[in-house]
């Protein structure tokens, strides 16, 4: 028992030494989340306390995957994941960065597209290089799989946002104010021809004018914007992944984002 504990302690120390930058970032972010949780608890803001607990759990997942599935996450990728979680939950939700900074949601969805493509790429590439699995895809197909995986996750997330807005009456799919619309429903004739209305200056609900200078769109623009930037992030990583497989790991830049098998912990 003591021998096993000693071996585990040595492995943990080796991992910390190997990924020193990641460990430092993890400790700093974890301390900030715990501090935010304590402040929220003292202030009686239990929803924020829940968000802090969720953030701590999510930040633990990369280390859990590395330890239990023997997968080596590059330090750059792991740091991006940790910063993404912190930016989305603590800064975005708790500190209302989604409202204070219009670009915040767009930035995170772009990064999400990139990260999901990296995960999708790694899931298949790890099989590609596994000697015990007869599975091989060309660089192009690997890039396509990574792209499709990322876009699928993006679509599922938009389903989740829509569900929360409909059933929990949240506003995850943020509203947009637009100055023109085209709609078949506005055509007085029963024909499939859209009527275009431009220069809209006001929206009225139940006879009460809203304080907006245009038509209030409830989610469509936000959803399509999120999917478009997710598309950009997915394409960027798919291109990186393509050349990574094409040169089979010679690109030092690509290695910063692509998980690999941990061969330092193989059984003798």
User: Model-level pTM?
Assistant: 0.86
pLDDT above 80 for 3:
no
DSSP, res 264: G
pLDDT above 60 for 121:
yes
Average pLDDT over residues 243-249: 82
- At 145-181, the pLDDT tens digits run 999 999 999 999 999 999 999 999 999 999 889 999 9
CA distance 36 to 49: 8
Which pLDDT score, from 0 to 100, does residue 96 have? 93
- At 42-94, the pLDDT tens digits run 999 999 999 999 999 999 999 888 888 888 889 999 999 999 999 999 999 99
The residue count of the chain comes to 268
Which pLDDT score, from 0 to 100, does residue 247 have? 84
Which among 227, 21, 233, 19 is positioned nearest to 120, based on CA atoms? 233
- Using pLDDT thresholds of 50, 70 and 90, give the confidence band for residue 14: low
- Using pLDDT thresholds of 50, 70 and 90, give the confidence band for residue 33: very high
CA distance 10 to 216: 59
Tokens found for residue 229: 């930037």
> Which residues have CB under 8 Å from 245's CB, separation 6+?
125, 128, 139, 142, 143
Q: Give domain limits for the chain.
A: 1-97, 102-173+218-258, 176-216
């Amino acid at each position: 028992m003591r021998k096993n504990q000693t071996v585990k302690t040595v492995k943990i120390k080796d991992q910390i030494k190997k990924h020193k930058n990641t460990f430092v970032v993890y400790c700093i972010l974890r301390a900030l989340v715990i501090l935010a949780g304590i402040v929220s608890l003292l202030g009686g803001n239990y929803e924020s306390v829940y968000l802090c607990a969720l953030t701590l759990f999510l930040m633990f997942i990369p280390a859990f995957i590395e330890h239990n599935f023997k997968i080596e996450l590059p330090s750059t990728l792991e740091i991006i994941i940790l910063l993404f979680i912190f930016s989305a939950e603590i800064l975005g939700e708790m500190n209302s960065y989604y409202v204070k900074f219009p670009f915040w949601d767009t930035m995170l969805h772009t990064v999400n597209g990139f990260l999901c493509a990296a995960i999708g790429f790694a899931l298949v590439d790890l099989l590609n290089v596994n000697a015990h699995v007869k599975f091989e895809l060309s660089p192009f197909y690997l890039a396509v799989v990574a792209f499709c995986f990322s876009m699928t996750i993006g679509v599922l997330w938009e389903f989740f946002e829509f569900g929360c807005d409909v059933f929990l009456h949240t506003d995850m799919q943020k509203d947009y104010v637009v100055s023109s619309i085209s709609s078949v429903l506005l055509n007085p004739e029963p024909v499939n021809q859209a009527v275009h209305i431009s220069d809209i200056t006001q929206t009225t609900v139940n006879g009460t004018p809203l304080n907006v200078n245009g038509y209030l769109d409830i989610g469509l623009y936000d959803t399509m914007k999120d999917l478009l930037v997710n598309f950009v992030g997915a394409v960027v990583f798919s291109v990186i992944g393509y050349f990574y497989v094409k040169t089979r790991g010679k690109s030092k830049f690509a290695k910063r984002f692509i998980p690999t098998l941990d061969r330092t912990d193989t059984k003798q």
